[in-house]
Structure 1
Amino acid sequence: MPLDDALTVRMTEPDFWPVYFFDDEAPDAYDEDADEQESFGTRFRLGEAFALVLDFTPGLEYVDLALEAPGLPEPTTVGWDDQAHFHPHVMPWQELDLLCRAVALDDPELRHPGPMLALLSRFAFLADHDDLDRVTPLLDGAFVVMRPGAGRERIRPETRAWFDLRNLAGTGLTWSTRPDGHDAVDQLGTDGLSLYSLRTPDSEEFPFAAWSALLTQARESVAGVATDPALAGPAVRQALDRCTAPDGYEHLPALADALLAAGYTHPVLTRAVARPVHRAEACWAVEAMSGLPQGELVSRWFGTSPLSGSETWRLSLHVSELGRPPRFGHQIAEALDAVLRQADLGRAEAGGTALRPENGTYVHVSTSLHVLIRDDFTRGVGVISRVLHDHDAAETATLHPRGDRDVIPLHPRT
C-alpha cells in the first residue's frame, strides 16, 4: 500500500482536505515551530523503477511532488504548491488519469478514482485538448471515495474548485517539442489563469527524459491490459461490447460472470467490474479491457459534464479604507465570499493593501479583493453591489476585470 498509516488516518479527518487545498475556510495550520511539524509523505509506485513522491507539510502550507526514476540520483521536484511562489502545473489532466490507472493496476489496495487522483489533482491542469466529459466523473468519484459524507451536489465542490483554479484551456497554452525530443508547455500572454510550471521549453530543472519514460511505461502498462488472451473469447468479447454502450454499466454483472468463467484473474480489474467503489472505477476498467481510447467510455457512460459551457470571470475589487475601521476590506471580503459561496456564484478573498505615510506612520488607503464569478456575470455583479451597499462602501469602491482598467458599473442600491 503506497499510503503510510499516518496519512491514511489523517485523510479521514474532517479538516484534512480543506487544509490540504489551502481552503480559506480551513483551520489555521500555521505554526511558528513549523520545522518541527509533522509532514506527510507517500510514494505512488509504477513498477520497480518509477515513483511519484508527494510530501505535504500542513504547518508550512507546502506540497511538493517529485519524480523517482532511473537516471535521477534522487527524487527530483517536478512541481510544488504553496501560498507564495507556486509552480503546480505539472501535467495535463490526461496524463494524471493515465498515471493513476497504471499505478492502480499494480496495486490492488489503491483504488482509482481514489487517493492518488484526489491528492495529485492539484498538480494537474485542464488543457485545450482535455474533454470535461472525461474529467468530471473521475474527479467527482475520487472525492466520493475520499470524502463520502461531504457534498451531494450535481457536481462535487472539490471538482468545481479544481476547475476554477486549474482550467488553463483557452489561455494560450502552446506545446512544443524540445531539441531533446520531449514535450514542453508555454503560455504567450493570457487574459485568464497564468501558467506556473517547471515544464517550459527552456527549463533546466524539469526532468524531461525521466518524465517521458514514466509516461511511456504507464501507456504500455494500460495498453497491455487488452492483450490478455482471456479477454479474446467470444463470451467475454460479447459482454465487453454490451458494456461499452451508453447504458453499459447495467451489464456489469454479466461481464463479471463472463470474466470468471474465462478464468480471468486480474485482481484490480475483476474487482472494479464486480464491486466498483464508484461507477467511474468500473468504467475505466472496461475501457482498458476493451482497448478503447482513454476517456472515451467515461464520456459515453456519464454524458455531458455539468461544467460544460461553464464560464468564469476574474475580477478585482478595490475597497477604500480611509476613515474606516481596522480590517474593513477584509470584512467585506469575508462577507462577499460567504454570499457568493452560498449562491454557488463564486468566491472572494482579500489581496494586497495600499498604504500611505501620514504623521510618521502609515494609514490604510484601500484593500484589493480577488473575486471569481461563475456562469452568471450580471447576478454576480449584483451580489457584489449589494454587499458593498450593505457596508456603505459602494460609492468609493471600484470593480474591474483583473488585469484591465475598464470599470464595471455597480448596481444601484435596491
Structure 2
Amino acid sequence: MGVVPVTEALRRLSEDPGFWALLRAETGAAEDPEPAELRVSLPVTGGYGLVLDLDLVTGEQTLGLREPATSEPVQLGWAAPGRPWPAALRWHELELCARVIALEDPTLPHPGLVVALLGPFAPVTAEDDGTTVAAVREAAYRSLRRDVPPPAPTGPEQTPLPLFADADWWPRPPAPSPQVLDEAAIAAYTLPAPAHLQVRGGARFPHEGLSELVRRAAGRLSRLPEEQWYAGVRPLARNMADTGDLRPVGTLLGKLTEAGCDHPTVLDALSEPLVPLEACWMVETLAGVAPGTLVRHHV
C-alpha cells in the first residue's frame, strides 16, 4: 500500500477549530458542511490500514480496518454525538500504527493528525501509563498547524514628528497564531472520555485482522534499526533511551546524515526545532526498545 498524502479536504478541515469541535461535540452537528462526508484512509503496512469515515452532517464517525484484497473496511467501532465512544483500539495498537504511518508518510508525523483523529477510539486502561498517554494526545493536538498571513504593516502613512516617532506610538497588532487549537480546547480534548462502549467482545469484531495488522506494524518498526543507515547509530540511540537523555540528539542526527540517511520522517523527527515526543519515539525505534521507554522521561 503506497503513501497516500493528506487530502486537500482533510487538510483544510484539520486547520479549522470548528472541525475539531464538531468531532468532539456531545450534541449537534454542522450546518451545510462542505464536504458533507469524508473518508480518511490511513495505510499502515502490508496492505492493512485504518479507515475513518466522517459524516459531518450528523457528527457520526466510523472506524474501520482495511485488509488486503478487500474493497471496503470492516467496522471496528461507530461513534455518534451523545453516545459513549467505542473502545475499538488499545492505546498501544493506535500508537504503534501511528508510528508506522509516520514512517511511511512524512506528511503525517507522530504525535500528530492520526492520534488527534483516532485517539478517542483508544481509551486509557489500567495497563496504560495515563500520564504518558495524555502527553502524547496533548502533543498531537498541539501539533496541528495552519499557515497564517504575515501581520499587516503598521505605522503612520507619513513621517511623524520626532515626538511621535517612537514605536510605542505605533504598536504592532498581535500576530495570529499558527496553532489551530487554543489551550482551552487542547486541555478539553486531552481529557479521557467519561465512558466507553466495549465493542471488542462482539462476534463481528475483526480480531484476527486487527491482530495481524498489529503484528505486521510491530515487525516494521523492529526491522528499522537493522536497515542500512541505522545499525551504526543503534548503540547511541540505546544509550539515550536507557538514560532518558535527549541532548545527544544532534550527534545522532549527524551520524545518520554522514551515513547517507535521507529518510524525511527520521531526519525531521531529530531536527530543530525539536519536538521532544517526536524525537523520543524515533530514538526508541532506532534503539529497538519498547515504545514509551524514553517518552516517559519527558512527560
Deviations 1:323-344 (A, max 9, x none): xxxxxxxxxxxxxxxxxxxxxx
Aligned mate of 1:21, from 18, 21, 24: 24
**2:181 pairs with 1:150:** yes
Q: Which moved more, 1:268-277 or 1:15-24?
A: 268-277
1:38 aligned residue: 36
Counterpart residue number, 1:268: 265
Q: Are the equivalent residues in 2 in contact too, given 1:133–1:298 (CA < 8 A)? A: no
SS of structure 2 residue aligned to 1:91: coil
| Within-5 A mapping of 1:132-281 | 132-146=130-144, 148-152=179-183, 156-161=186-191, 163=192, 165=193, 193=195, 195-200=196-201, 203-233=202-232, 236-237=233-234, 239-244=236-241, 248-275=245-272, 278-281=275-278
CA distance in 2, matches of 1:100, 1:160: 17
Q: Which AA in structure 1 matches 2:9?
A: A
Change beyond 3 A, Cα 1:30–1:301: closer
Deviations 1:270-315 (A, max 9, x none): 221124662211110000000111111100233xxxxxxxxxxxxx
TM-score for both structures, normalised by structure 2: 0.79
Using the TM superposition, give the Cα deviation of residue 239 of structure 1 relative to its aligned residue in structure 2, in angstroms.
3.4
Q: CA deviation at 1:267?
A: 2.5
> Which residue pairs with 1:116 in the alignment?
114
Q: Name the SS for the 1:199 alignment partner.
A: coil
How many angstroms apart in 2 are the aligned matches of 1:149 and 1:160? Answer: 15
SS in structure 2 opposite 1:110?
A: coil
Distance of 1:122 and 1:20 partners within structure 2: 10
The structural deviation recorded for 1:37 is: 6.5
SS of the aligned residue for 2:97 comes to helix
SS of 1:225 mapped into structure 2: helix
Contact 1:98 1:219 (8 Å CA) reproduced: yes
Aligned-pair CA distance for 1:60: 0.6
Q: CA separation in 2, counterparts of 1:77 and 1:295?
A: 29
Shift, 1:105, TM fit = 1.1
**Partner AA of 1:282 in structure 2:** A
Q: How does 1:70-81 map to 2 (within 5 A)?
A: 70=68, 72=70, 74-81=72-79
8 Å Cα contact 1:65/1:78 also seen in 2: yes
Q: Which residue of 2 aligns with 1:378?
A: none
Q: Secondary structure at the match of 1:282?
A: helix
How far the C-alpha of 1:124 sits from its partner, in A, is: 0.6
CA radius of gyration, larger in: 1
Q: Deviations over 1:87-144 (max 9, x none)?
A: 5210121111111011111112211111111000111111111012331221111111
SS in 2 for 1:283: helix
CA distance in 2, matches of 1:86, 1:159: 15
Measured at CA, do residues 241 and 51 of structure 1 come closer, stay the same or move farther in structure 2, by a change above 3 Å? closer
- Are the aligned partners of 2:6 and 2:107 in contact in 1 as well (CA < 8 Å)? no
Aligned partners of 2:132, 2:84: CA distance in 1, in Å?
27
Counterparts of 1:308-319 in structure 2, within 5 Å, are: none
Equivalent residue number for residue 10 of structure 2: 7
The percent identity for this pair of structures is 27
Residue in 2 aligned with 1:282? 279
CA contact (8 A) 1:239 1:258 kept: no
Structure 1 portions without partners, runs of 5+? 167-192, 303-414
**Counterparts of 1:19 and 1:128, CA distance in 2:** 29
Q: TM-score, normalised by structure 1?
A: 0.58
